[in-house]
Amino acid sequence: MQEEQQPEAAADPMSSSDAPEDGPKETSSVSQNISDADAFKILLEMKMKKRQKKPTLPSTVTELDTEDGSKVYVVGTAHFSDSSKKDVVKTIQEVQPDVVVVELCQYRVSMLKMDEKTLLKEAKEINLEKLQQAIKQNGVMSGLMQMLLLKVSAHITEQLGMAPGGEFREAFKEASKVPFCKFHLGDRPIPVTFKRAIAALSFWQKVKLAWGLCFLSDPISKDDVEKCKQKDLLEQMMAEMIGEFPDLHRTIVSERDIYLTYMLKQAAKQIELPRASEAEPRKYIPAVVVGVVGMGHVPGIEKNWNSDLNIQEIMSVPPPSASSKIFKFVIKATVFGLMGYGCYRIGQRTVQFILSMPAAQSYLQKLTEIRSQH
């Protein structure tokens, strides 16, 4: 569930432009023969000098420590917020992290490479092709749930004229500017979350939730987004709709809190320094990590930080219940019923149209005359 992107390292400090043109050949030879370990140390020293010992951080940042001295700076964001993007950039520039972890999984990583215009268009265009793709990838129930949640996101996108995930794209860009900074995807795979969420609901709860998501239309302003910095807007809207479904809140929010905490702690393990030879003893230094997550996950991460976590249980997908099978059958029957009725109506109208054409009427008249003659 964890992917790494090795960003570009800083430019070589021993560049030819810094050395005098008529300098001794030994200097050029040394710069060309510098070992990987020495190059690493030089770049690491540059990074450490740039790293602020007492960073000035936004109020949305929560600082956490590990037992071995590593530091984790969790930036709580609103997924539709320009202010959150600035918070992320500021934090990464101040602490010069070794790892950046974002609240994304491999199924949503494409948003990192899309521009705002493309994402805005994608979020607004929820069509049958996307629904079929979601169902094919995640199954009928999970696919429908995914499309309904995308509808919520598209509603906010349409209201604000702003694509989601801007803070993740900023984190990706800034991480690429920090020497030796790795980029990790820290969220649980979305198919697992949806399948566990569906399994937690009864038949009528599924119907009620789908109804609420389908008819979402409340207007949202940019001021509303910034006011929701204490609790992410998208997750707050979801919490309001799933408030009467505690099991759904557990799978969509609480379990992901645990997963995100686990991934942040994994990223915060000490870093091994390169050795000049195998005989040299291993040396480790504490890591600095920046986590970029929705504000609604920050309390859960703090709560779980000092706990021994096991994510095997929350990664398992339970078998479909009887209510899930019934709901799946009802959905399929409805879809096929509508398709059949559509074909019938189209076919009926087509026949009527053909029969109304002059050529067809003339042909039918001739057939009638031939039959009357016989």
pLDDT exceeds 90 at position 172: yes
Task: Identify the band that residue 319 occupies on the pLDDT scale cut at 50, 70 and 90.
Answer: confident
Higher pLDDT, residue 81 or 328: 81
pLDDT (tens digit per residue) in 107-127: 888 888 877 677 667 666 666
pTM (predicted TM-score): 0.69
Q: Average pLDDT over the chain, rounded to whole?
A: 75
pLDDT > 70: what percent of the chain?
55
Task: Identify the band that residue 155 occupies on the pLDDT scale cut at 50, 70 and 90.
Answer: low
What pLDDT does 107 receive? 85
**pLDDT (average), residues 74-99:** 93
pLDDT > 90: what percent of the chain?
32
Task: Identify the band that residue 131 occupies on the pLDDT scale cut at 50, 70 and 90.
Answer: low
Query: Ramachandran region of residue 303, left (φ > 0), alpha (ψ -120 to 50) or beta?
Result: alpha
CA gap 364, 372 in Å, rounded: 12
For tokens 């790892």, the residue is 99
Instruction: Look at 1-5, 100-104, 298-302, 335-339 and tell me which has the smallest mean pLDDT.
Output: 1-5
Task: Identify the band that residue 37 occupies on the pLDDT scale cut at 50, 70 and 90.
Answer: confident
- DSSP structural state of residue 60: T
What pLDDT does 360 receive? 57
What pLDDT does 61 receive? 97
DSSP conformation letters of 178-247:
STT-EEEE-SPPHHHHHHHHHHTS-HHHHHHHHHHHHT------HHHHHHGGGS-HHHHHHHHHSTT-HH
Please tell me which of 198-212, 267-281, 297-311, 314-328 the model is most confident about, judged by mean pLDDT: 297-311
- Are the C-beta atoms of 47 and 9 separated by less than 8 Å? no
pLDDT exceeds 60 at position 183: yes
What pLDDT does 243 receive? 59
What pLDDT does 275 receive? 77
What pLDDT does 39 receive? 80
CA gap 257, 150 in Å, rounded: 21
**pLDDT (average), residues 364-372:** 63
**pLDDT (average), residues 50-68:** 92
Q: What is the largest CA-CA distance in the chain?
A: 115
For tokens 């398992």, the residue is 316
What pLDDT does 260 receive? 98
pLDDT exceeds 80 at position 316: yes
Q: What does the block give as tokens for 72? A: 């984790």
